[in-house]
């Protein structure tokens, strides 16, 4: 198992015009500050890393981000600071599959994001609980469980 890191491959060669980035499977434990410079980034794949809830705060400031895949990380909740005014302004799809979300309430701030159309929680403890109870989520946003 690789040790967590905060380096993106060849991040010095990336520029502000970057619109899509796949940094999956890089054992990232934190996000590099350089990521904030990518103001045109609209699709970001960070699957199979070591990221926790705090990464959502930094990612929430990417102004063009529409699709974010954080599946297979160590995210258990959403800090309120990641869903405040101006955060994830245009985010439409957030994939938190196979993370450590225990219940939908743990990510409730995300349900208030103005542009979010879909939140994916497949493979989480929250999804398993919902399946056992046979109860659909009690909110309007489509949540895949």
Closest Cα to residue 24, out of 72, 96, 64? 72
- Of the two residues 23 and 4, the one the predictor is more confident about is 23
pLDDT value at residue 76: 97
Domains for the chain: give ranges and CATH numbers. 11-144 (3.80.10.10)
User: pLDDT tens across 18-76, in order?
Assistant: 999 999 999 999 998 888 889 999 999 999 999 999 999 999 999 999 999 999 999 99
CA end-to-end span of the chain, whole Å?
29
pLDDT value at residue 141: 47
pLDDT value at residue 15: 62
* pLDDT reading at 137 higher than 80: no
Q: For the chain, what is the mean pLDDT?
A: 86
* Least reliable range by pLDDT among 86-90, 123-127, 141-145: 141-145
What band does 139 get if pLDDT is binned at 50, 70 and 90?
Answer: very low
pLDDT value at residue 90: 98
Query: What is the rounded distance in angstroms from the CA atom of residue 129 to the CA atom of residue 53?
Result: 21
Report percent pLDDT > 90 for the chain. Answer: 68
Instruction: Give the other-Cβ count within 10 Å of 68's Cβ.
Output: 23
Query: What is the rounded distance in angstroms from the CA atom of residue 29 to the CA atom of residue 31?
Result: 7
- Phi then psi for residue 55, to 5 deg, are -65, -25
pLDDT value at residue 127: 86
Enter the pTM of the model. Answer: 0.84
């Amino acid at each position: 198992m690789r040790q967590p890191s905060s380096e993106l491959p060849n991040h010095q060669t990336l520029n502000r015009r970057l619109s899509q980035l796949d940094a999956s499977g890089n054992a990232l434990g934190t996000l590099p500050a350089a990521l904030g410079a990518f103001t045109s980034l609209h699709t970001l794949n960070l699957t199979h890393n070591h990221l926790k809830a705090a990464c959502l705060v930094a990612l929430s400031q990417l102004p063009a981000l529409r699709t974010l895949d954080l599946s297979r990380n160590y995210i258990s909740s959403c800090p309120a600071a990641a869903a405040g005014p101006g955060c994830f302004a245009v985010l439409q799809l957030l994939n938190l599959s196979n993370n450590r979300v225990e219940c939908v309430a743990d990510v409730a701030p995300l349900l208030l994001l103005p542009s979010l159309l879909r939140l994916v929680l497949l493979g989480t403890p929250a999804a398993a609980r919902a399946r056992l109870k046979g109860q659909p989520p009690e909110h309007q946003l489509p949540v895949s469980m």
